[in-house]
Amino acid sequence: MPEGHTIHRYAREHRRWLRGRAVEVSSPQGRFAAGARLLDGRTLLTVDAYGKHLFYRFQGAATLHVHLGLYGGFRELRMVNSERGGDGWSVAEVPPPTPGTRLQLRTPEVTIRLSGPTSCELLDPDGETRIRARLGPDPLRRDSDAEAVAAALRRRTTPIGAALLDQKVVAGIGNVFRAEALFVCGTAPLRPANLLDPDDFQRLWATIRGMLAEGLRMGRIVTVEPAEVGKRTRGRLLADERHYVYRRAGLPCRRCGTAIRAFKLAARTAYACPTCQPW
């Protein structure tokens, strides 16, 4: 499932291409046909990301809400005649949408297609507020409230590794960031959330914010300090060098050599080093 940094990246990209433009909106698959008709031709005012949710605000229309879920994804086809230049498709060459394309957003410069989302819907006026009220703070937003996250963790006796995936506690963290942030902080995923002391929490929050921001910048999740695997920059890390513990079950810990353990936690596989994250 895409984590928060991917959603924020989509928001940034879609703002860049569509903000202030009259957008041709359609639903090639048909399942969002009625909604698309209401949005078609309207000007997109902005796109906002909150946790794993995207909100598209069109002039004079209801807000479009998209949640990708496990299988959703966007495809962006840039047109060759785009003012911003570079490579692209000519109008005649653009491939037809796949049968699963729920939503298509089109301007003369770009075609953006969405398939397989969990949600693609128009919200009533309170809809966005209602969705956001169910979510904890988003570490990628400037206004995110660390104290609210700390307070939510103090109220929970569930393992910290489960609490971090609970979008009501903190919005946007998925399985990779959970595994990597807890490793970097030396915190066992099974430790009860309410046993984190304030210093533990501050370190964890700073780590999560830093990792998500780096993910947003790079467009992928790279958590390993390059020097620890003998490289000079994050960009030089190979695919199997980018994580400390995620998907490394049975392999030696990069810091201590102990075999990384994997186990189910909150319905997803958790990874941890029993030595670096004692429990």
Rule CB under 5 A: which residues touch Zn ion?
Answer: 253, 255-256, 258, 273, 275-276
Our CB check for Zn ion shows the closer of 188 and 216 to be: 188
76 carries an active-site annotation: no
156 carries an active-site annotation: no
Our CB check for Zn ion shows the closer of 196 and 276 to be: 276
CB of 248 to Zn ion, least distance (A): 11
244-to-12, 185, 259 alpha-carbon distances in Å: 28, 12, 12
Q: Is 101 within 8 Å of 115 (Cβ atoms)?
A: yes
The residue at minimum Cβ distance from Zn ion is 253
178 carries an active-site annotation: no
Q: Can you read off the two tokens belonging to residue 192?
A: 């009860």
Our CB check for Zn ion shows the closer of 118 and 275 to be: 275
Our CB check for Zn ion shows the closer of 170 and 276 to be: 276
CB of 251 to Zn ion, least distance (A): 11
The sign one gets for the Cα dihedral 80, 84, 86, 87 is negative
The one catalytic residue in 42, 141, 234, 268 is 268
CB of 253 to Zn ion, least distance (A): 3
231 carries an active-site annotation: no
Q: Can you read off the two tokens belonging to residue 227?
A: 């020097």
- What does the alpha-carbon distance between residue 252 and residue 46 come to, in Å, rounded to a whole number? 46
Nearest C-alpha neighbor of 182 from the set 251, 259, 246: 246
Q: Is 102 within 8 Å of 139 (Cβ atoms)?
A: no
Residues with a catalytic annotation lie at 2-3, 52, 268
